[in-house]
Chains A and B, each alone.
Chain A
Amino acid sequence: MFDAVFTNLPYLLGGFLTNVQLAAFALAGGLFLGALVGLGRISKRPWVYHPVTLYVNFLRNIPLILVIFWVYFVMPILTGRSMDPFISAAVSFVVFEATYFGEIFRAGFQTISRDLVSAAYSTGLTYRQTAAHILVPIAFRRMLPSLITQSIITFQDTSLAYVIGLQEMVRRTTIVDSIEVRSIQLYSFVAILFFVICFIGSRISLHYEEKSRKAKVL
């Protein structure tokens, strides 16, 4: 029943590995930049707050697929040479997902009491130390369910790198399908693979949500 899938399994799974790698870059970069964006969104300094807010509101109104194209067109102009689709896609994902992670971090920062921050300053911590050792770790733990959910979305989004010709799983599936013409089994296979991973991810997110609810840390 899955004959076309099995004969092309290494090729397809190789594409899936690209999705995983892209997601890893997107998450590492997106979380780091997202934490900074979140800090910018609660900043009291207008020259920090306004540009960051503009960046977030701008990108959240634009389809990811268009951002992928835009970065793909703008990168050669900035760097002066043609760009590998993987690097171009990774840059798009970091820039795009950082706005979504940033809003989650902001919500996390806003649950932290002002007294705690004052206490941190009174022990002599600088702003950077307070951010790195107090704000970000607490917000990260409190927002873990939302961060996992957004990570799942990011993982699903990596399939969109298809549009700039990246050899990820969906692209490879269309290539195999054009030779084998076994659309039902091929696309079902991709769907099941994504479903299993994302479903497990959503259960993990739910587990942490229940856990924090029971621990009554809100």
Chain B
Amino acid sequence: MLAYKFDWGVLWRQPYGEWLLQGLWMTIQVGALAWVIAFILGLLFGTLRASTWWPLRFIGALYVEVFRNIPFLVQLFFWFYAGPMLFGKTLQFKINSISGLHYYVAVVALGLYTASRVAEHVRAGFASIGHGQYDAVLSTGMTHLQMYWYVIVPHALRLIIPPLTTEFLTIFKNSAVAMTIGVAETTFMSYKIDEQTFHGLEATTGAMAIYLVLGMTVVKLMNLIETKYRIPGLVTR
């Protein structure tokens, strides 16, 4: 054992305690905003994958495979370092001078990445709805668009709330990767405390506690939503 003097005071002593709380706020912001993107795109691409016309199915599959098979860290670096270059020299400098660019890039990159996972759950949700229901809806004279919008999507969404809860938890965990491009979220802050005090162990332990509390809060919240939108007559816990 190395003679290591624990100093748990770094968790509440100013300004370090405040840093961790600021980090938590940033984690919540990045995660929640990315979730909006992930949910909308996930719904879109998941629906495309269930299409009967193969080009649409192909687009959906392509999106999911590309974003799922590349590590999120690589995607994040690509958007952050290579992304602005895609717009050409003149625009590149304008984009790079946007203040808080790393924050926007983190939100969009995390949203795009998580959308591929949401799309897979949406597709599974569609698959679990019986063919009879599709036929029944079409026989009432609805168009395909109306069928998805009014019947299939609302039904599937309620079925896939549990796996979406897992994804919602994962998005907050994955937001920690955004520290690598300088987004000041919880993990970034715990590392910053280490740089200032050399008490990284205490700081990261504190950050772990923050993630635990955040995770438990999200689960409680999603349980409420699940109870509210439960489909009557199905097996529940």
If over half of B's interface residues share one DSSP class (helix, strand or loop), that class is named, otherwise mixed; here it is helix
By beta carbon, the residue of chain B nearest A71 is: B204
Q: Is the CB of B191 within 8 A of A195?
A: no
Report the minimal beta-carbon distance from B179 to chain A, rounded to whole angstroms. 7
Q: Is the CB of A187 within 8 A of B82?
A: yes
A116: interface (CB < 8 Å): no
Q: Is the CB of A70 within 8 A of B73?
A: no
How many A residues have CB within 8 A of the partner chain? 41
By beta carbon, the residue of chain A nearest B208 is: A62
Report the minimal beta-carbon distance from B190 to chain A, rounded to whole angstroms. 7
With contacts A159-B73, A194-B71, A202-B69 known, is A70 near B81, CB below 8 A?
no
Q: Is the CB of B201 within 8 A of A70?
A: yes
A9: interface (CB < 8 Å): no
Centre residue among A62, A63, A160, A198 by max chain B CB count within 10 A: A63
Q: Is the CB of A163 within 8 A of B180?
A: yes
Q: Pick from B125-133, B151-159, B168-176 the stretch touching chain A.
A: B168-176
11 extra interface residue pairs, beta carbon distance < 8 Å, beyond A61-B216, A70-B201, A72-B200: A63-B211, A64-B173, A66-B207, A69-B187, A69-B204, A73-B201, A77-B4, A183-B81, A184-B85, A187-B81, A188-B78
B residues contacting A by CB (< 8 A) are 1-2, 4, 65-66, 68-75, 77-78, 81-82, 85-86, 169, 173-177, 179-180, 186-187, 190-191, 194, 200-201, 204-205, 207-208, 211-212, 215-216
